[in-house]
Amino acid sequence: MKRYMLLGFVLAVLIGTGLAQDPTISDVNAFQQALEKDGFTVQQGAVGFFDVIKLYDLGVLPNALGNNPSTRYLSYFVPPAPGQKVPEELTKIAATLGINLDAAAFWNLGPDEAVVFVGRTPPECRYFSLDLQLVERTYGNETRWIFSNIGDTVNNLVINTEGTPNGAAGNPFNQTTVIVATADRGIDQRIRAAALSAGYPDNIFNTLVLPSSMLNLGVENNSDKFLIAMRPAFYKDKQAGDDYLNNTPAIVFRVTPNQTTKLDPYDFPKLRVRGTGTTEFDLMDDLEQLKKAILNKYSNLNATELPTSMTVPSDGIQRGINAMGPDNDACYLWTSNLTPFSPTPPFPDLSKYYDFQPHPTVTLGSDPNEFIIIYGVNHVATEKATYSSATIYGAAGWNGVGTVHDADFNGTAEDYLPDNPNAKYLYVYKIARNCNGDLNCFEVPTGPGAYGIALDQPLMIFWRMYLEKATKTGPSYSEIVYDRAIKFDPKK
């Protein structure tokens, strides 16, 4: 079997910002020719950095969509269906990001079409996935943003690649893979046959299913719009991660049959089941001891315990509400006593539709005695997550300005509970404007622009717990102990 395209990706022709979008490798050309021979129109798209903060900072998006600063998202940029045009507002997104193609990050798809990713997976990192989201849906004359995941991801524990054939244990990083997003079983099989004829091995294929039973597929303006995001987090080698981001060794095709085909739609795929039956609740007493130690250390200050609740709803598609882009591989918490939900139009000023202010409203001034202490269970230490993190957000724009994660948490509770053997499963971290030399502390920037939070602007903390290894999906909310936060400021 001949060696396939990505051994030679270093020969890529660079387009725009350096994306490797025209590999000029014989196998990719052979793949496209095989598809065309089988009666498909094949249009080339791109994989590019979806820089949410940049888009928000420049006013292209009205908010930052709850960006995760530890994850610089990559997105498919997909050409329109033959004879269709990319809407102006989506063209502006691509142009701002330097994607010099007639393609969009939000796109629709016919019931007999497919979007195909051919390329390498990210270099070694704590986690990555490719996640299919329903972005936009029209209800009568009303169009809404939904931003809700459709089924499970293709993540680093389940992906089929040359290094993890048929999902077997192995190395999923920097490996060749093919991922087909389609609603139709017959189209999927024809695409795989074309790839096999071009020399790709038969054990590197993955399918992201668009279930026709719950989607409004089509290429008209009122058809559903989709997004496929790649979420690589915490690269082992930062330079390798930067190189992957700036020159992604992958290509995207939109594949459209030239003739009407008999549809053979996929059923909704079986989901991976959250939960192992093992919980973190044995640590509740230890966590209460930790809270008392924290309050005792700062007893000279006023203390306000902040609430914690689920951040995003899991039923956005069924309810027609904006779910803010959750991933089935994660649990999400935030410093509020509610889970936000609302029908919202495309490109909304979300402050008009959501009460985004934390409860109580929290600001963080420059006084050295004003800060937030976050604490809780280190979910990686308990093996409930592959990585966990806490992110600081501006409440008005949902702009994440910085993240601390489980590796930062290691050993931080032992100074508070020196004689408690379970302290190794807990953490304490400080969020402040000026850390004054404190080691376990994150300094919140005031700018520039969306890259910071002004002193008088409300903020909030988000926690994420990604990928329980035992289940290869997100942990169960019913098995984790919720993270907590206390706001301290001078007594009046």
The tokens for 124 are 């070694």
Closest CA to 477 of 339, 331, 313: 331
Helix or strand holding residue 485 (H, E) = strand 484-490
The tokens for 240 are 């390798």
- Judged against a pLDDT cut of 80, whether residue 43 lies above it is answered with yes
* Cα 23 from Cα 359, distance rounded (Å): 51
Contact in structure between 143 and 248 (CB atoms under 8 Å): no
pLDDT tens string 377-434: 999 999 999 999 999 999 989 999 999 999 999 999 999 999 999 999 999 999 999 9
pLDDT of residue 357: 57
Helix or strand holding residue 461 (H, E) = strand 459-466
Contact in structure between 127 and 156 (CB atoms under 8 Å): yes
Give, as one character, the DSSP assignment of residue 160. -
Closest CA to 298 of 362, 372, 376, 404: 372
pLDDT of residue 16: 35
* Cα 139 from Cα 142, distance rounded (Å): 5
What's phi and psi for 389, nearest 5 deg? -155, 165
pLDDT of residue 354: 64
Closest CA to 364 of 463, 448, 486: 486
Contact in structure between 484 and 291 (CB atoms under 8 Å): yes
**Average pLDDT estimate for 201-212:** 96
- Angle 357-461-456 (CA atoms, 0-180°, nearest 5)? 50
pLDDT tens string 277-315: 999 999 999 999 999 999 999 999 999 999 999 998 889
Q: Considering only 81-95, 172-186, 328-342, which range has the smallest mean pLDDT?
A: 328-342
Closest CA to 360 of 391, 389, 339, 338: 338
Give, as one character, the DSSP assignment of residue 473. B
The tokens for 351 are 């402050």
| pLDDT band with cut points at 50, 70 and 90 for residue 187 | very high
- Angle 81-87-74 (CA atoms, 0-180°, nearest 5)? 80
**Average pLDDT estimate for 325-349:** 87
pLDDT of residue 14: 32
pLDDT of residue 168: 75
pLDDT tens string 441-479: 999 999 999 999 999 999 999 999 999 999 999 999 999
Four-CA torsion 279, 280, 284, 286, nearest 10 degrees: 140
Q: Find where tokens 């044995």 sit.
A: 282
* Cα 441 from Cα 432, distance rounded (Å): 7
* Cα 217 from Cα 182, distance rounded (Å): 10
Closest CA to 77 of 54, 110, 100, 56: 100
Q: Considering only 129-133, 264-268, 352-356, 466-470, which range has the smallest mean pLDDT?
A: 352-356
pLDDT tens string 266-279: 999 999 999 999 99
* Cα 116 from Cα 208, distance rounded (Å): 10
- Judged against a pLDDT cut of 70, whether residue 124 lies above it is answered with yes
* Cα 475 from Cα 463, distance rounded (Å): 13
The CA–CA distances, whole Å, from 313 to 71, 138, 276, 324, 474 equal 21, 20, 22, 8, 15
pLDDT of residue 358: 60
Contact in structure between 337 and 309 (CB atoms under 8 Å): yes
pLDDT tens string 132-155: 999 999 999 999 999 999 999 999
Dihedral sign for Cα 177, 178, 181, 184, please.
negative
Percent of the chain past pLDDT 70, that is, above it, reads: 92
* Cα 115 from Cα 113, distance rounded (Å): 7
Q: Which residues pair with 402 in a beta bridge?
A: 392
**Whole-number average pLDDT of the chain:** 91
- Judged against a pLDDT cut of 80, whether residue 12 lies above it is answered with no
What is the number of other CB atoms lying within 10 angstroms of the CB of residue 239?
9
* Cα 264 from Cα 452, distance rounded (Å): 49
Contact in structure between 191 and 116 (CB atoms under 8 Å): yes
